[in-house]
Amino acid sequence: MMIDFYYNFGPNPMKVALFLEEAGLPYRLVPVDMLRGEQFSPEIVELNPNSKLPIVVDDGVAIFDSNAILLYLAEKYQRFLPAAEHRAQLLSWLMFVATGLGPYSGQAVHFRHYAPEPKDYAVQRYAFEARRHYDVLEGHLANRQWMVGDAFSIVDMATWGWIRNMDYVLGPDARAELPNVVRLLAAIDARPAAQAAAGLREKHAFKAEFDKEARQAMFRHVEPAKQPAAQ
Ligand SMILES: N[C@@H](CCC(=O)N[C@@H](CS)C(=O)NCC(=O)O)C(=O)O
């Protein structure tokens, strides 16, 4: 049994890295360099028509989208699933991360750090929505140690992928106003598996320079890649 893990160090692949390390499953790393546009290669598109990471191929079965991967692996290997009575909460919070926390945080990063001027309205909109989702987390965690039930689960892993990037998403001042989120982050960061997942950074030199090639891969709405000549 071997799992192929197509990854980079983005928030979404890191959730899956944490699961694989926590579960102690044997896996092979397949780095995909998104600043070089490798996510658009035929091999990747075949596995994930959406051309994004992470992707896992487990026993010949390909699965994409980080939260789907977490649920799939948790159910398959019966690890890090909240108790059955918490099933509704598991689905609600996993979808909250998948459809709210993640996308709004991602767009907040885009507008805050990458968009050209004028961008005030968009920065305000996405900073507000990202922060609103973090505030929902903060309230939810006020009287509980973990996201769902009373044990560490895949929902904490999904949340970790984003909250470990809190400063970059919300700016450095937010931390002081989100003590419960910071507490969850510290509890997960202290786990050896989280340290091993973070250590994957040393295993491959991903491209760092955000040059024209990177913009052609990441910002195709403004910098379309050169199309191959018509036959
Ligand atoms: N909903 C997807 C989002 C995946 C995603 O946006 N991944 C980023 C890295 S964290 C990516 O592959 N970006 C490449 C691109 O946008 O071209 C998930 O949760 O897995």
Residues 171 and 96 in one domain: yes
Residues 184 and 121 in one domain: yes
For ligand 1, is residue 15 a contact (CB within 6 Å)? no
pLDDT of residue 164: 98
In a domain, 226, yes or no: no
In a domain, 17, yes or no: yes
pLDDT tens digit at each of 231 positions of the chain:
789 999 999 999 999 999 999 999 999 999 999 999 999 999 999 999 999 999 999 999 999 999 999 999 999 999 999 999 999 999 999 999 999 999 999 999 999 999 999 999 999 999 999 999 999 999 999 999 999 999 999 999 999 999 999 999 999 999 999 999 999 999 999 999 999 999 999 999 999 999 999 999 999 999 887 666 655
> Considering its fold, how many domains does the chain have in total?
2
Inter-axis angle of helices 120-140 and 87-96, to 10 degrees? 160
Q: 183 is in which domain, residue-wise? A: 84-190
Residue whose Cα lies nearest atom 10 of ligand 1: it is 10
Residues 186 and 208 in one domain: no
In a domain, 225, yes or no: no
Gap from CA of 231 to ligand 1 centroid (Å): 32
Residues 109 and 11 in one domain: no
Give 78-85 contacts, CB < 8 A, sequence gap 24+: 79/19, 79/22, 79/23, 80/19, 80/22, 80/23, 80/152, 80/153, 80/154, 80/157, 81/153, 81/154, 82/148, 82/149, 82/151, 82/153, 82/155, 83/149, 83/151, 85/149
